[in-house]
């Protein structure tokens, strides 16, 4: 008997108005960013593309749509929260009208207000931020990259930037079970102290609001803030460190890569999808490759599991492990390492090791 095809939607937004909105509307490339932002504020959410060809090794299939929420990261921060939430809700309703039974919140749409809870209350379909699978891929990607750099993850000092956020907190709890030391970095000292006091595990937990202090001794850095601007000071990074940047917009600037050839910077959350997936839209990844938050939405659709999965600021470790197992079941896996939308080659990793004084072995 043929399995029921899952239906899903995923909400995207431009990272920069002039550059990213121009992927859909090329004429916007000619305008100043301030003008583009004024235009985006007035635009209604609408479908961007249809997603076809998603097929699990189990035989399950899913079909979906990208829906655009026309605001830039700075607008998500600067505009009134009610206005921004209203626009995200309209985007989710577009997905619902298209036939989606679960909708994923991409990038800044997942952090506004109460991290998806209000969105879920205002639509008649399931909602997820995708944060559970993002956590799973961030930690696993950092482990693998560290091993390639010659660092034993079980002996590494790990720093988490954005530690008190939804993704950061769960990354901390996972890493505290396996690393000897975890450094929490965030903007609110009281929240950092509360998180540090609540973490179980073998790791020594310290915290700071100053990345320049927190990063000096870190072998592995996981960056998961919701900052509009880059926040990783490259000059203080330890030679041979691995930086896994999960944040969108990025927490790490290209200048870090240029100025620190002895540090490996990778993008977190890149996932190979099963089947012959065609997104019919270029968001900067190779064919059949998605962000982990997108992949979580697809996994739920393949499971025909239409429930609110990852919502709010407090993620469940059990759900992180569960979505990791479901991803494996349906043929999702970590993609090759990428840095600033380009593949990271074995030769590049060897060059970073040489620059860090670790040879090529």
Per-residue CA distances from 275 to 2, 33, 53, 103, 349 (Å): 16, 38, 6, 20, 29
How do the domains of the chain map onto residue ranges? 6-132+270-334, 135-269+336-355
Q: Which of 129, 125, 116, 66 is nearest to 93 (CA)?
A: 125
Select from 331, 309, 333 the least CA-distant residue to 62: 331
pLDDT for residue 99 is more than 50: yes
Confidence of residue 16 (pLDDT cuts 50, 70, 90): confident
Calculate mean pLDDT across residues 99-109.
96
Tens of pLDDT, residue by residue over 198-257, are 999 899 999 999 999 999 999 999 999 877 677 898 899 999 999 999 877 777 888 898
Question: Residue 54, exposed/middle/buried by CB under 10 A (0-12, 13-18, 19+)?
Answer: buried
Nearest to 357 by CA among 263, 250, 255: 263
Mean pLDDT of 296-301: 98
Judged on CB neighbours under 10 Å (0-12, 13-18, 19+), 124 is exposed
How high is the pLDDT of residue 359? 67
Lowest mean pLDDT among 34-48, 82-96, 241-255: 241-255
How far is Cα 76 from Cα 63, in angstroms, rounded to an integer? 28
Helical axes 131-148 vs 166-175, angle rounded to 10°: 50
Tokens (6 digits) for 284: 């900067």
pLDDT band at 358 (very low <50, low <70, confident <90, very high): confident
Length of the chain: 361
Segment 69-85 mean pLDDT: 94
Domain 135-269+336-355: CATH superfamily is NAD(P)-binding Rossmann-like Domain (3.40.50.720)
pLDDT value, residue 36: 85
Contact between 126 and 307 under an 8 Å Cβ cutoff? The reply is yes
Which H helix or E strand runs over 327? helix 317-329
């Amino acid at each position: 008997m043929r399995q029921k095809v899952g239906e899903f939607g995923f909400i995207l937004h431009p990272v920069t108005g002039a550059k990213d909105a121009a992927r859909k509307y090329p004429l916007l490339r000619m305008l100043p960013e301030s003008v583009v932002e004024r235009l985006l504020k007035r635009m209604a959410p609408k479908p961007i593309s249809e997603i076809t060809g998603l097929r699990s090794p189990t035989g399950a299939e899913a079909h979906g749509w990208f829906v655009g929420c026309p605001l830039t990261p700075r607008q998500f921060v600067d505009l009134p929260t009610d206005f921004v939430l209203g626009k995200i809700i309209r985007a989710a309703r577009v997905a619902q009208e298209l036939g989606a039974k679960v909708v994923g919140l991409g990038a800044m749409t997942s952090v506004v207000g109460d991290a998806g809870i209000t969105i879920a209350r205002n639509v008649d379909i399931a909602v997820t931020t995708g944060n559970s699978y993002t956590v799973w891929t961030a930690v696993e990607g950092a482990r693998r990259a560290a091993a390639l750099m010659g660092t034993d993850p079980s002996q590494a000092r790990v720093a988490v930037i954005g530690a008190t956020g939804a993704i950061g907190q769960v990354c901390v709890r996972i890493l505290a079970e396996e690393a000897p030391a975890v450094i929490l970095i965030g903007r609110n000292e009281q929240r950092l102290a509360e998180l540090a006091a609540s973490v179980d595990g073998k790791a020594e937990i310290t915290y700071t609001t100053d990345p320049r202090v927190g990063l000096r001794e870190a072998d592995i850095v996981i960056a998961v803030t919701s900052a509009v601007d880059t926040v990783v000071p490259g000059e203080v990074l330890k030679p041979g460190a691995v930086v896994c940047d999960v944040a969108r917009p990025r927490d790490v600037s290209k200048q870090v890569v240029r100025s620190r050839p002895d540090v490996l910077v990778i993008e977190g959350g890149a996932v190979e999808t099963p089947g012959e997936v065609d997104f019919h839209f270029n968001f900067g990844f190779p064919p059949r490759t998605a962000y982990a938050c997108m992949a979580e939405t697809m996994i739920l659709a393949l499971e025909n599991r239409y429930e609110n999965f990852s919502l709010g600021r407090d993620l469940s470790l059990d759900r992180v492990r569960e979505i990791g197992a479901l991803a494996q079941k349906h043929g999702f896996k970590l993609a090759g390492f990428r840095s600033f939308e380009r593949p990271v080659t074995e030769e590049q990793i060897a060059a970073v090791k040489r620059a860090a004084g670790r040879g090529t072995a």
